Amino acid sequence: METTRSGISAEGAVNRASSSAHAVVDSIAGAADEAARKAKPAIERVAAVAHQAVDKAAGAAAPTADWLTARGESLNATRQKLVADASSYVSTNPLKALAVAVAVGFVLSRILR
C-alpha cells in the first residue's frame, strides 16, 4: 500500500474523501428534505387560496353566463320573428319589397362613398 507524504495511505485518503462527500450529500439531502417539509404547508396554503379564487370567479361568472344565455335566447327568438315577418312581407308585396331594397341600396351607396 502506497502512503502519501502525510503518512496516510492513498486508500485511506480516498475512503476519507468518499466519507466526507457522502456526509455532504446526506447533509444536502437532509436540508432539501427539511426545506420541502417546511415549504409543503406554504404550498398547500397557496393552492388553497388559488382554489378559493377560482371558486369565487366561477361563482361570479355563473349569473353572468345565465344572463347571457337568456339574452341570447331572447335575441334568437327576436331574430327568427323578424326574418319570418320580412319573408311574409316580401311574399305578399314583392314589387314594393323590391322598390324598398333598391332605395335602401341607393341610400347606403351614397352614405358609404
**pTM value?**
0.40
Q: All 3 cell numbers of residue 31?
A: 436540508
pLDDT tens column, 15-69:
777 777 777 777 777 777 777 777 777 777 777 887 788 888 878 888 888 888 8
Contacts of 89 (CB under 8 A, 6+ apart): 97
Please write the tens of the pLDDT for every residue from 55-104: 888 788 888 888 888 898 899 999 999 999 999 999 999 999 999 999 99
Please state the length of the chain. Answer: 113
How far is C-alpha 57 from the geometric centre of its chain's CA atoms?
A: 13
